[in-house]
Amino acid sequence: MTEAYSTPMARRLPEGGGPAAGHPTPASETGGSLPGWDLSDLYRGADDPALVADRDRADAEARAFRERYMGAVSDLDGEGLGAAIAEYERISETLYRLMSFAQLRHATAQTDAEVGRFYQGMHEAVTEISSHLLFFTLEINQLDDDALAARLKAPAAAAYAPWLRDLRMFRDHELPEAMERLLHEKDVASRSAWVRLFDETLAHMRFDIDGQSRTVTEALDQLSDSDRARRETAAKAVGKGLSGEVRLFAHIVNTLAKDKQIDDQWRNYAHPMAARNLANQVEDSVVDALVSAVKDSYADTAHRYYAMKARWFGLDKLATWDRNAPLPDAEDRRYSWDEARDTVLRAYDGFSPRMGDVGRRFFDNAWIDVPPRPGKTSGAFAHPTVPSAHPYLLLNFMGRTRDVMTLAHELGHGVHQVLAGPKGVLLADTPLTLAETASVFGEMLTFRAMLDAETDPRRRRTMLAGKVEDMLNTVVRQIAFHEFERRVHTERGEGALSEERLNDIWMEVQAESLGPAFDFDDGYRVFWSYIPHFIHTPFYVYAYAFGDCLVNSLYAVYQSGSVPGFQDKYLEMLAAGGTLRHRELLAPFGLDAGDPGFWRQGLGVLKGFIDELEQVA
């Protein structure tokens, strides 16, 4: 497989995801200034001599590595193979550091042309350097199983056994080295270029709301306003704005889907999701069972809840801008940044002081970029960077309860990445499905702590409804997104999809998942076009539902007290990084994602919350 040297980011969708040079840190709507991150732990700036030195040294070392090992991997003994992998890992870490800095700098200034040029230049340089290394993993995969097993008897090679295991999953899907290198080098002018065009187009967009120019983050936040007229105004402005760019977004989707289709055909993948499932180290049957379980639950989860919400609002039908609206009698509570921080850390501390201590590092140091600002990417993410540094978190904090939950989510990713970091660049990274475990678990801890501390029945109902909506957004909505992608990629095999066809597929999956309680307006037809996961990481979205259902089952075990030392076992699971598969990770808790009943058990938690709401309502 070709390797894109841009470290993965665990991203949260924008609708319920010292500061970068040249960007002020604005005041929060809730009062007080919001912190920005300091990227100097990576490099002091774009002109840092250390950055130039790292780039030049990595280039020289990659060329020397190719000269030394190309065509000779099969001649290495176990100790020699282990030493070669260690050298490959060291060069890779430098490349990841360079790209992490460029990505993070660009994420907060996507409309800055100079920052964009630096990001593109670094991407091209790292891609060229890393092309010298592509032969190595291909030659490893040319070793037969017995030959590799003999080499793994040596401790130096055995240390990388999990990485080798995962690498060899792709043996049947690799192309000759010259083709892999061509595809790798062309990425900067093909797929990555389209992704950047999408990101920067969205970052440049402004939506006219009541005479004020709003970014996409600000406009989407207004969809959760307590004033229905303000929600409607925002929804129509977003629909109008996206409609103006939908031709471009449709072209990007069609181009990337065709690009993926060509890649899948050459690599002999059986269906559009096959590559993602393989990378996630999860069997097709497990994903199919998850999707089927969630779709079968639509009537008893989303349809039932939104019908109840319509009654609370005194409406026959909800409008699309009512989906994330606070309840009619809910307080429009806004949290300050300090309140949000303390709320999340208390929940983490209550579960495990060690977990709280790791989380506290992100606040004691400048590892989080918090304020929304023009040019900053929407949504939120956690970026692991490299083990020799530390992760960074990006938020767009507006002070709502959902923003507190987003902080808990991204901090979960950050804690996971810190704990797994000692495994090293090649062994620390986890599949997307397991990467969402720590984040969703962090949300659940925070929600439970907030709910347990609340004694007012009305506020408890509001909190419970908010949690149900978050779970619906994480499970039902993400599976609907997954169905949208599946249908788009399947139909793209027969030819390009028109804007109207993309709109139609979107409306079909939305109506199916949200149910008869909604009256869908025409402006909503284009809302598919701002979802970044469709562009950045095809078929990412089911990982959210996977993680939520997994965490529900995991949290039930924690609450039951049936597993002694649960907290230590949980942190050990996170510290394992990518060394273990989901069956091995869940075995200490008596759970098995391959069991068809596993997903029903996780969905049962959501149904139970809705049952409780019906009783208190």
pLDDT tens-digit profile of 288-345? 999 999 999 999 999 999 999 999 999 999 999 999 999 888 877 889 999 999 999 9
For residue range 214-262, what is the model confidence (pLDDT) as tens digits? 999 999 999 999 999 999 999 999 999 999 999 999 999 999 999 999 9
CA–CA separation, 63 and 16 (whole Å): 45
Average pLDDT rounded to a whole number, residues 460-465? 90
Apex CA 415: angle with CA 380 and CA 382, to 5°? 20
* Residue 614: half-sphere exposure toward Cβ, Cα within 13 Å: 13
Calpha distance 52→374 (Å, rounded):
29
0.85 cut: is pTM over it? Answer: yes
Average pLDDT over residues 415-423: 97
Tens digit of each residue's pLDDT (9 = 90 or more) over 502-555: 999 999 999 999 999 999 999 999 999 999 999 999 999 999 999 899 999 999
Question: Which residue type does 262 have?
Answer: I
**How far is Cα of residue 330 from the mean position of the Cα atoms in its chain?**
30
Task: Catalogue the E-assigned strands of 433-574.
Answer: 518-519
Helix (H) or strand (E) holding 337: helix 337-351
Residue 380: strand pairing partners: 12
Q: What is the pLDDT of residue 17?
A: 33
Q: Which backbone phi and psi does 213 adopt, to 5 degrees?
A: -85, 120
pLDDT at 454: 87
**Ramachandran angles phi, psi of 369, nearest 5°:** -105, 115
Spatial CB neighbours of 75, under 8 Å, sequence gap ≥ 6 = none
**Cβ(253)–Cβ(241) below 8 Å:** no
Which CATH number describes the domain made up of 195-334+434-617?
Answer: 1.10.1370.20
**Structure confidence at residue 81 as a pLDDT band (50, 70, 90):** very high
pLDDT classification of 409: cutoffs 50, 70, 90:
very high
Give the model's pLDDT for residue 116. Answer: 96
Closest-CA residue to 373 (of 132, 157, 156, 112)? 112
Q: Which of 410, 430, 38, 11 is nearest to 195 (CA)?
A: 11
pLDDT digits (tens, 9 = 90+) for 265-282: 999 999 999 999 999 999
CA-CA distance, 304 to 73, in Å (whole number)? 59
Question: Which tokens hold the place of 558?
Answer: 């924690």
Question: For position 26, what pLDDT does the model report?
Answer: 42
Would you say residue 481 has pLDDT above 80? yes
Q: What is the pLDDT of residue 260?
A: 97
pLDDT of residue 14: 54
The owner of tokens 């495994």 is 423
Residue 595 or 257, more confident:
257
Residues of the chain with pLDDT > 90: what percent? 85
Average pLDDT over residues 193-222: 94
Report the candidate in 286, 547, 553 with the shortest Cα–Cα distance to residue 436: 547
C-alpha 297, offset from chain centre: 24
Residues contacting residue 115 through CB under 8 Å, at least 6 positions apart = 20, 105, 106, 109
Q: What is the model's pLDDT at position 434?
A: 87
Average pLDDT value for residue range 36-54: 98
**Mean pLDDT across the stretch 71-99?**
98
* pLDDT of amino acid 329: 82
Lowest-confidence pick of 55-69, 221-235, 513-527, 581-595:
581-595
Top-confidence residue, 28 or 302? 302
Q: Which string of DSSP letters, residue by residue, matches 113-162? A: HHHHHHHHHHHHHHHHHHHTTHHHHHHHHHS-HHHHHHHTTSHHHHTTHH
- Report the SS3 class of residue 208: strand
Q: Which residues in the chain are classed under CATH 1.20.140.70?
A: 37-189
Evaluate if residue 27 carries a pLDDT over 60: no
157 pLDDT above the threshold of 50:
yes
The CATH 1.10.1370.20 domain(s) of the chain lie at 195-334+434-617
What mean pLDDT value characterizes the chain? Answer: 92
**372-393 residues labelled b (16+ CB within 10 A) or e (exposed):** bbbbbbbbbbbbbbbbebbbbb
Q: Which CATH number fits domain 37-189: 1.10.1740.10, 3.30.460.20, 1.20.140.70, 1.20.120.350?
A: 1.20.140.70
Higher pLDDT, 12 or 115: 115
Q: In this structure, are strands 380-383 and 392-394 parallel, antiparallel, or unpaired?
A: antiparallel
pLDDT band at 33 (very low <50, low <70, confident <90, very high): confident
Relative to beta strand 392-394, strand 368-369 is parallel
